[in-house]
């Protein structure tokens, strides 16, 4: 785990964004963990946080120049000696430079010279993050194996709001921890379902739900970061969510309806050690699907007869082999926490899952949100953990709970 190895060398690159002030706390977390941290700011970064601050917090001399400590070939040596390179904040400009392989300052040469994992924490205005050039650069970096944390969706400089806020230092620290620690899921085969199924009514309409798939995607990304071989069964997840799970160890299989999801999950479960059913599966589907769009011209309101879908997670739990672990999810709209837990315990018992993750949902919580708050029920319905925060942080807690049961 990060903090247990005092010989870890970490380079923290800081680029010219207002979020640089948050990186001071990140460096403090890393140094308090006992690590050798070298800060490499760009010239523009020093406009936001001065050189004396970086030197004081990292306990090392700090420079932006490739012309200092030439005898040690510092512009190459930093990258060669690094066990991890973090860039936080990573502005749109710095991401473009990293993608192009530019090396016009000490941070650029360090990134080119390193063979260590690279973790970047993007920070910029929402329009800049959504720009096609930035998204193309991000896609290229992911293909090269660069790791990303964030950006978060929230308040930005100048009062704007949207995607582009740099992740909090604790979340970046946790992502670094996952990269540096021995993978606790190394060699484990995992299948995660995510998103929401759609039950067709006609070629145009369907019965569905508001699940974005973000929590399931975060679970897949966290498992891969911990060393697992992951299959993500994606039920109608948007491209921007799937972009966050591009990883060499993640294979994505797309499905549409509950029947399709059940078929794929059963097939993938046969080869998996851990099954995580995070998808929101429709309870019912139309008995008959019209081959043509239903219209008002015929008069009257069409009656749609429904039939119950298979309980996929219960089927997976009943068919699990010895040593295989099944995790279910429940989204509830209770009157209070007591009802929430009572309903969750009832579902855990009926479905026969090893762990059950329950969260309260409503018009403005749970679905389509960057944050989540869950209870994780272990064997016998005992609350193994209660956690809230970003969906990646929640995913980390869920995998910690899974690890305790394996």
The stretches of 65-114 forming alpha helices (DSSP H) are 74-81, 92-100, 106-113
Tokens of 241: 């969510």
**158 and 116 in contact (C-beta within 8 Å)?**
no
Instruction: Please pick, among 137, 209, 359, 372, the residue that the annotation labels catalytic.
Output: 209
- State how far the Cα of 76 lies from the Cα of 108, in Å rounded to an integer: 10
- State how far the Cα of 187 lies from the Cα of 228, in Å rounded to an integer: 6
Mode of pairing for the β-strands spanning 306-308 and 284-286: antiparallel
- State how far the Cα of 147 lies from the Cα of 121, in Å rounded to an integer: 9
Residue 200's SS3 state is: strand
- Run of H or E including 165: strand 161-165
CB proximity list for 62: less than 8 A, separation 6 or greater: 38, 39, 40, 41, 51, 54, 55
Tokens of 182: 């021995």
Q: For 201, which DSSP code?
A: S
Instruction: Answer yes or no: 209 catalytic.
Output: yes
Q: What is the dihedral of CA 291, 294, 299, 301, to 10 degrees?
A: 110
CB proximity list for 104: less than 8 A, separation 6 or greater: 97
Directed axis angle between helix 20-32 and helix 169-180, to 10°? 50
The stretches of 156-305 forming alpha helices (DSSP H) are 169-180, 214-225, 239-243, 258-269
Q: Catalytic positions, please?
A: 209
């Amino acid at each position: 785990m990060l903090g247990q190895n005092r010989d870890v060398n970490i380079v923290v690159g800081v680029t010219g964004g207002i979020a640089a002030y948050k990186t001071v706390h990140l460096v403090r977390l890393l140094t308090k963990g006992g690590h050798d941290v070298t800060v490499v700011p760009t010239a523009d970064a020093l406009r936001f946080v001065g050189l004396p601050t970086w030197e004081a917090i990292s306990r090392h001399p700090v420079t932006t120049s490739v012309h200092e400590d030439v005898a040690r070939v510092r512009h190459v040596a930093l990258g060669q000696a690094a066990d991890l390179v973090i860039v936080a904040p990573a502005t749109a400009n710095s991401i473009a430079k990293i993608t192009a392989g530019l090396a016009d300052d000490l941070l650029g040469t360090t990134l080119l010279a390193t063979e260590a994992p690279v973790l970047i924490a993007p920070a910029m205005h929402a329009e800049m993050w959504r720009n096609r050039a930035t998204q193309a650069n991000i896609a290229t970096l992911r293909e090269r194996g660069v790791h990303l944390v964030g950006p978060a969706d929230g308040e930005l400089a100048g009062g704007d709001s949207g995607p582009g806020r740099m992740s909090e230092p604790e979340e970046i620290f946790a992502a670094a921890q996952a990269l540096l620690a021995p993978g606790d899921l190394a060699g484990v085969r995992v299948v995660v379902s995510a998103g929401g199924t759609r039950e067709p009514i006609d070629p145009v309409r369907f019965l569905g739900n508001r699940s974005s798939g973000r929590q399931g995607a975060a679970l897949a990304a966290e498992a891969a970061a911990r060393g697992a071989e992951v299959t993500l069964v994606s039920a109608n997840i948007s491209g921007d969510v799937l972009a966050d799970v591009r990883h060499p160890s993640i294979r994505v299989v797309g499905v549409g309806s509950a029947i399709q999801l059940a078929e794929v999950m059963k097939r993938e479960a046969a080869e998996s050690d851990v099954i995580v059913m995070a998808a929101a599966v429709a309870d019912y589907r139309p008995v008959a699907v019209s081959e043509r769009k239903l219209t008002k011209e015929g008069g009257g309101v069409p009656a749609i007869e429904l039939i119950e879908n298979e309980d996929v997670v219960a089927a997976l739990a009943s068919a699990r082999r010895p040593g295989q672990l099944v995790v279910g999810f429940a989204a509830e709209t209770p009157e209070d926490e007591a009802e929430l837990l009572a309903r969750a315990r009832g579902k855990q018992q009926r479905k026969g899952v090893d762990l059950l993750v329950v969260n309260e949902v409503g018009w403005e919580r749970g679905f389509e949100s960057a944050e989540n708050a869950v209870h994780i029920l272990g064997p016998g319905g005992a609350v193994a953990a209660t956690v809230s925060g970003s969906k990646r942080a929640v995913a980390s807690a869920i995998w910690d709970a899974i690890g305790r049961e394996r």
